[in-house]
Every structure is written in structure tokens, then in C-alpha cells.
Amino acid sequence: MKRILLTGATGFVGRCVVGPLIDQGFEVHAACRNPDRAVALGAVGHAADLLAAGAGEDVIRRVRPTHLLHLAWDVTHGAFWTSPANLRWVGRSLDLLDAFVRAGGERVVMAGTCAEYAPSDRPLVEGRSALAPGSLYGTAKLSLGQILRADAAQRGYSAAWGRFFYMVGADEPPVRFIPAQIAAVLKGAPISCRHPWNRIDYMDVRDAGAAMAALAGSRVEGPVNIASGEGRSLDSICRTVADAAGRPDLYTSPDGEPDEGSSATVASVLRLRDEVGFVPERPFDARLREIVSAWVERGPPGPVDPSVRDVGRRGP
Amino acid sequence: MKRILLTGATGFVGRCVVGPLIDQGFEVHAACRNPDRAVALGAVGHAADLLAAGAGEDVIRRVRPTHLLHLAWDVTHGAFWTSPANLRWVGRSLDLLDAFVRAGGERVVMAGTCAEYAPSDRPLVEGRSALAPGSLYGTAKLSLGQILRADAAQRGYSAAWGRFFYMVGADEPPVRFIPAQIAAVLKGAPISCRHPWNRIDYMDVRDAGAAMAALAGSRVEGPVNIASGEGRSLDSICRTVADAAGRPDLYTSPDGEPDEGSSATVASVLRLRDEVGFVPERPFDARLREIVSAWVERGPPGPVDPSVRDVGRRGP
């Protein structure tokens, strides 16, 4: 019997992980503050505030999982890059990990981020590309991943580290770049971006969830990029959004060539494809058009954040 | 008023930090399990088990320190390289740090280790030499140091990371390399070492304590090696021990040249000397002879550990 403890099950990605885990034969136990929402997804729910002292140990004792998939973290838009909550999440994640391993747990997968990598215009390769996070968030994640790997080698359990890149989904409130552009176009406002030639690796969030579930069910060890492997310029994203909304007039590509200051955040997906055996189902452009169409029909899923800016080097 | 909270005050180095901190004008508050021992050293004592949830926050609330010097960690001989207690110490250290900063603390110094560096035969330079710990302990320390630095940049407090190399002291129980050699010679047993040409940076523990106190009182930021800057071969250490005990017959240098497999763990001390302004008072050879003489007079300070082996690449 494979029994997995999932944290962050009601988050943006977590919601897309439960189904694929069940499809793989896992008995899925979700530890979160609102377990009813996890139960609605098909998981066994356990009420837990994982930032509280001892909460991780408690839920491990109740569930006795063979697998741990730890996605929970503070990802409050805008704040999470710099939030001291990153320090508490590192500590509570290590407490949860230690309790899991002491209770006989076999395999752990945790969520890392593309923000661990040093800036590079080349595809980012696990175990090869330089790591040099420019934010407290990226540093906290990198540190947790390093300790996970060293502890797994030490105590002999199986561990992987899924590095999320950028994701897009239909039920994402317009607090991030793509949903904010869609919301603007739907209101009839012209859109623009300051760094149109920045190239970003975007993946449909349902694919990202399925990829993380596949990683959890595999025996692959170490860091694995969870990404599409394809970079899209912000220019092409804005153009697709305006086109799909039937308002191509609301976006005009800037003149000229990709400028010197542009950056790329694009993954190598060889490990995900060849070792985990996962290939995304949903091409990004078609998916983006679907999301725009869904919003045209029913409106955005939440209030628009006026502070949204370009996405750059940092991460999801 | 400079009020410093010191953890690990009753440990091997901690005992040598209290006096120099008081000499610098600090009001020294020690949080430890046996506060009486810290009080005997001149500190204000606070009973605290820093691995217990909330203990760090509690003592910060009581002391309201302007400075934090955090030395406490699990350094049980032999076990600490691999102990899962390293995970708990990372978490509790971050909790303590966050409580300190939220309470308005100004400057933090924490203890790192030479085990953070990748093996190298060249002097190890802060911010320049490669970091690649080969142990869970080194990884945990490196990770904590990375987060400290990123958080300090983020929240605007002052922070330094003192990387200890190897230390020697008169009241060290014979569970480590040098005291074990001394204990053997005093019993009339021949001594030897498997890697006589390994070169190690040893510092008198009183100098190491004074250096850490000087770092705490300075405004120097980032990693600083706490070391002598001089490498000693294990061969020369064994010879000095046997000579100083009046039993040169108990150690014979091996024939031949430094072998291929030998390693070096030697610090660059430019930052400590030129930025902190600290120079060790006690030359190592003379200090080693003093320690041997003291043991000849009064015997070793504790039971001999029969498992002691060579010191190598890893750290104190």
C-alpha cells in the first residue's frame, strides 16, 4: 500500500496533484488548514497548520505515510520573495521531514524553484547549471533542497526535488503576469510589458501537477525541473492574449530586436522526460487561448492586482 | 548599551568567548541548559533548551539583546557529522534568528565550519573558494549561513558567519585527534597516524573564542574564517606530542615524501586579520607543548575514546 502525505493540496499546483496521485494508486492524505477542500478533490483530509510547532510530527503520527509530497510554503503574491516566513517554512519543512523519516517513510519529494538557478540565457540543467539565488525565497528553497539531499544520502531514503518554473491555469486570480494581462484585455485596456523579449518557461498547471505526481511515484533522485522546456517571450504571450480575446488592437509589439537587457528562464527537461518519463499534454499556446476563452465567458476568478509587473529572472 | 545573547556558552569554544565579550563592554546573557556554568564564567544565565519549540523566542523576549552570538549545535564527537539533529538545529536557529530580528536586534554572528568548503590543497578563502560540503553537518551549516546572509540583506541587519577550523585546548576530553594522541603517549603507548602528511589548520581554542568575540563586536559582514592560517602536518603534531611528553621513542615519522592521498584544510585569515583586526596570541607549537605538560602533571580531563582516528578533510 502506497500512502502519501501531501501538503499544500489546496494551493495552485496542489489542486492538480491529488487526481494524478490517486490515478497512480496512492492513498492520498492531505494536511492543510482547510481539509474540506482537499476532501472535495478526493483526498483524506487532515486539519493542520504546518507552521505551528509540532504540527508536522502530529500528522505524520496519524497518517504513517510511505511517501511525502511537500508543496506547502508561503507564496503570497509579491511578498513571498522577501518574507521572513521563508525562514519558518525551512524549519517546519525540516521538522516534517525528520518526523517522516523517523516514522519509517520511504520517499520524499519537495518543491523547489527555478529561482535557485543563477541567471543564464541557456537552458537550466539540473546538477550542471550554476545555482545562485537572488532572493531570500530562492535561497531558502536551495538550502532546504541541499539538506534534503544530504540527509537522504545519510539515512538512506529516496528523495527528489521538483523545481517549478512558471505556471498558468484557468482558476488563477489575476495577481500574476498572464492573468493580469487577460483581465486588462477583458476590460478593454491596452496592455504592454517592459521587457517584451524576456523568455519564460510556462507550463499548464495541470501538467505541472501531473509531473509532480509522476515524480513522487518514480524512483528518480535529486533535482528535476518541472517545466515545459520551451521559452515564450512576453511579447508573444501578450499578442496571444489580445488575439484570443478578439482584441488584437489592445497589444502592439515593440519595434526592433530583442534588447540587451532581456533574460531567459527556460528549463532543460531531459530528466523529466527521459528519467521520470513525463511529457506535458497541453501545448502552451492552445492552453493560453482556452484560458482566455473561459474568462471571456465567465469573467476572471478573482480581483485584479494593480501592482502586477513583468516576470523576469526570479521564478514562479 | 550592548547586550549580547550567547548560545553554546558552556561548550568547548563558548567557554572562551564570555570573557572577551565582557572585556569589549558587552552585557553577556547566556542561554543554555546549565546556566550555572555560564554564570561562573561571568555571564547572566538563562535556562533554556534551545531545541525545544518556542525556547528561542522566549529567551529573546526576556533578554531583548542588541547582539546575538549563536554557537549552540550538536557537536557530539563522531555522531554530529551525520546526525539528524542537524536538521533540528537549522530550524531552531532560524526560529531564534527571526525572533531576534523581530525584537529589533542589530547584529548577528553565527558559527559556520571549514566543512562547508570543497576539498582543496590551497588556502580556503571566504567568498572565493568553492563550497561543497561532503557531510550533512557541513551542508546544514552552509545552508543556515546562506539564509542568514540573504535575510540580513533583506531586512537590513548586520550579520557575519564565523567559520571555525580545528581547535585545541587543555580541557578537551581525549575524544579528538590531538588529545587522544596525548593520552596514548601518557600511557606509554606508541602513536601513529594513517595520513601523516594531511595538513590541518589548528588554533588555540582561547584564541578562537577571542576571535569570535572580536567578530561579534565588529561590523564585518559575511563569512570570516576563524583560524590560524597555518597548516600543521599530523606527522609534526605527533612528533611534538611525543617530544613534549619526554617520550620521543613513542612516535616514528614514516619514511618518504608526502603521499598523493594527503589533504590540506588550511584557512586564509586575511579577513580575520585585516578586517576584524584579530591576530592569535598563542603560537600553536608552544601551546601544544603547554597542553602536554599540563596533562603530564594532572592527567587527561576525561576518559579516552578508543575510536579516534585521523583528522582529514571534514572539519572540527
Domains identified in chain A, total number? 1
Which residues of B are less than 8 Å from A146 in CB distance?
139, 142-143
- The CB density around residue B24, as the number of other CB atoms within 10 Å, is 16
Mutate to test the interface with A, among B50, B139, B142, B314 (most CBs of A within 10 A): B139
Is B161 within a domain?
yes
Which residues of A are less than 8 Å from B146 in CB distance?
139, 142-143
Which pLDDT does position B171 carry in this prediction? 81
Is A91 within a domain?
yes
**Nearest chain A Cα to B146, which residue?**
A139
B155 and A84: CB-CB below 8 Å? yes
Is A83 within a domain?
yes
Of B53, B86, B90, which has the smallest distance from its Cβ to A90's Cβ? B90
Task: Please check whether residue B88 touches A, CB under 8 A.
Answer: yes
Identify whether residues B131 and B178 lie together within a single domain. no
Identify whether residues B218 and B159 lie together within a single domain. yes
Is B312 within a domain?
no
Which one has a higher pLDDT value, B305 or A197?
A197
Q: What is the rounded distance in angstroms from the CA atom of residue A89 to the CA atom of residue A18?
A: 22
Identify whether residues B64 and B195 lie together within a single domain. no
Which pLDDT does position A258 carry in this prediction? 66
Only one residue has cell 579516534, namely: B308
Task: Please check whether residue B97 touches A, CB under 8 A.
Answer: yes
Identify whether residues B239 and B135 lie together within a single domain. no
Which pLDDT does position B273 carry in this prediction? 98
B146 and A155: CB-CB below 8 Å? no
Identify whether residues B128 and B108 lie together within a single domain. yes
For the segment B267-292, the average pLDDT, to the nearest whole number, is 95
Is B275 within a domain?
no
Task: Please check whether residue B210 touches A, CB under 8 A.
Answer: no
Which uninterrupted H or E stretch holds B153? helix B136-155
Identify whether residues B288 and B211 lie together within a single domain. no
Is A304 within a domain?
no
Which uninterrupted H or E stretch holds B294? helix B284-298
pTM exceeding 0.90: yes
Identify whether residues B122 and B181 lie together within a single domain. no
Of A53, A86, A92, which has the smallest distance from its Cβ to B54's Cβ? A53
Provide the residue-wise pLDDT of chain A in tens; the chain has 316 residues: 799 999 999 999 999 999 999 999 999 999 999 999 999 999 999 999 999 989 999 999 999 999 999 999 988 877 889 999 999 999 999 999 999 999 999 999 999 999 999 999 999 999 999 999 999 999 999 999 999 999 999 999 999 999 999 999 988 877 889 999 999 999 999 999 888 999 999 999 999 999 999 999 999 999 999 999 999 999 999 999 999 999 999 999 988 766 667 889 999 999 999 999 999 988 899 999 999 999 888 877 766 655 655 565 444 4
Task: Please check whether residue A140 touches B, CB under 8 A.
Answer: yes
Q: Which of B258, B261, B278, B260 is nearest to B270 (CA)?
A: B278
Identify whether residues B28 and B149 lie together within a single domain. yes
Identify whether residues B187 and B139 lie together within a single domain. no
Residue B219's domain comprises: 3-166+204-226
Which pLDDT does position B54 carry in this prediction? 92
Q: Interface pTM (ipTM) of the complex?
A: 0.90
Which residues of A are less than 8 Å from B102 in CB distance?
84
Which residues of B are less than 8 Å from A150 in CB distance?
133, 135-136, 139-140
Identify whether residues B176 and B254 lie together within a single domain. yes
Task: Please check whether residue B104 touches A, CB under 8 A.
Answer: no
Of B88, B133, B151, which has the smallest distance from its Cβ to A87's Cβ? B151
Is B313 within a domain?
no
Which pLDDT does position B255 carry in this prediction? 81
Identify whether residues B56 and B81 lie together within a single domain. yes
Identify whether residues B143 and B115 lie together within a single domain. yes
Of B53, B135, B154, which has the smallest distance from its Cβ to A54's Cβ? B53
Is B183 within a domain?
yes
For the segment B87-106, the average pLDDT, to the nearest whole number, is 97
User: How far away is chain B from the Cα of A234, in angstroms, using its nearest Cα?
Assistant: 28
Mutate to test the interface with A, among B88, B146, B148 (most CBs of A within 10 A): B146
Q: What is the CATH number of the domain that holds B40?
A: 3.40.50.720
Of B54, B97, B139, which has the smallest distance from its Cβ to A87's Cβ? B97
Half-sphere exposure of A233 (CA within 13 A, CB side): 15
Which pLDDT does position B315 carry in this prediction? 43
Mutate to test the interface with B, among A146, A148, A149 (most CBs of B within 10 A): A146
Q: What is the rounded distance in angstroms from the CA atom of residue B148 to the CA atom of residue B97?
A: 8
Task: Please check whether residue A82 touches B, CB under 8 A.
Answer: yes
